[in-house]
Amino acid sequence: MNKQALITGVTGQDGAYLSKLLLEKGYEVFGLVARRSSDSLWRLRYLGIEQQIKLLEGDLLDLSSLIRAMEESEADEVYNLGAQSFVATSWKQPIFTAQVTGVGVTHMLEAIRLTNPKARFYQASTSEMYGLIKESVQDENTPFHPRSPYGVAKLYGHWITVNYRESFDTFAVGGILFNHESPIRGIEFVTRKVTDAVARIKLGKQPKLYLGNIDTKRDWGFAGDYVEAMWLMLQQDRPDDYVIATGKTTSVRNMCEIAFSYVGLNYQDYVEIDPALYRPAEVEILLGNPAKAKVNLGWEAKTTLEELIVMMVEADIKRVEKA
């Protein structure tokens, strides 16, 4: 019999790629969708799967809607990807971020405990929890020191996941994912902001690109690779936490160089620094060690940063040409 999966955050980047993967594996996929006044299904359409997802209305802030979603989906696996996920916004809306990104995790765990305690639970934890890094390469044993209200909320979400595993024997895992991107990444995140600008500049529709701190470094991978790791974590004999990363780090500056040079431009001619885009506290560098995932899950990143950026620039050129 086919398995059922419930995905919160199904309209986001990872929700769309994970839905596609699970559909390919024969799952019945239910997606929790928060009520929005404008279209939020464009990513599911982009991947050609909108009609195959069973959408359930609900919100991580509303426990009763999560209980109903658990009952209606009869989910064997729950992937909690829903969050206020943009770090910069978390200083402007710290309480909202704490509620959705932090306490929302407990709402989902409670809904599982009250309806189907045997359901397996994936929590979208993050490398942002390392923040002011304590080790030059971060793994599952590296201490955390979050640097944003988002990171703090995610740390709560991570520990409540561990706590339900230890308290109630919930099959609950925390995937500590480093930055991952794709052509359907939100435009506010730096990779997509850059690839979109490269397309517009190349096609004569935008003169400059304004960025904040371009000397920070991130361990960037492709979202399509990373959702495979989420699924693998829930197929193991016992629940555990895993770092998912490429093991390589690159500065925003170098990422710009890769993107602009792909269309024959020099980033230095177009990128301007806007101090207003600097963050109150910054995560200077992230670099993950995915060794445990390789050994236990047989997972490793397949797509290089260069391949990822080319994929994103090409998709943005097509979009801008069509617009």
| Number of residues written out for the chain | 323
Q: How many CA atoms does the CB half-sphere of 317 hold within 13 Å?
A: 13
Catalytic residue, chosen from 101, 126, 170, 303, is 126
Is 150 in the active site? yes
> For tokens 């996941």, what's the residue?
161
* Residue 43, SS3 per DSSP: helix
Q: Which residues, in sequence order, are bridge partners of residue 217?
A: 251, 285
CB of 119 to ligand NAP, least distance (A): 18
Under rule CB under 6 A, residue 179 binds ligand NAP: yes
Quick note: the x/- pattern for ligand G4F over 273-292, rule CB under 6 A, is ----x-x--x---x------
List C-alpha distances in Å: 29 to 47, 170, 191: 14, 21, 29
Under rule CB under 6 A, residue 100 binds ligand NAP: yes
DSSP state of 127: G
Is 126 in the active site? yes
Q: Which residues contact 118 (CB under 8 A, 6 or more apart)?
A: 76, 171
CB environment 307-320: b (16+ within 10 A), e (fewer): ebbebbbebbbeeb
Burial tier of 73 (Cβ tally within 10 Å: 0-12, 13-18, 19+): buried
CB of 230 to ligand NAP, least distance (A): 9
Binding residue for ligand G4F, selected from 163, 212, 254, 294, defined by CB under 6 A: 212
* Shorter beta-carbon distance to ligand NAP: residue 56 or 201: 56
* Shorter beta-carbon distance to ligand NAP: residue 15 or 146: 15
Is 130 in the active site? no
Under rule CB under 6 A, residue 178 binds ligand G4F: yes
- Residue numbers of the site for ligand NAP (CB under 6 A)? 8-9, 11-15, 32, 34, 36, 40, 59-61, 81-85, 100, 124, 126, 177, 179-180, 186
Active site residue ranges: 126, 128, 150
Binding site for ligand G4F (CB under 6 A): 85, 87-88, 126-128, 178-179, 188-190, 193, 211-214, 216, 218, 252, 277, 279, 282, 286
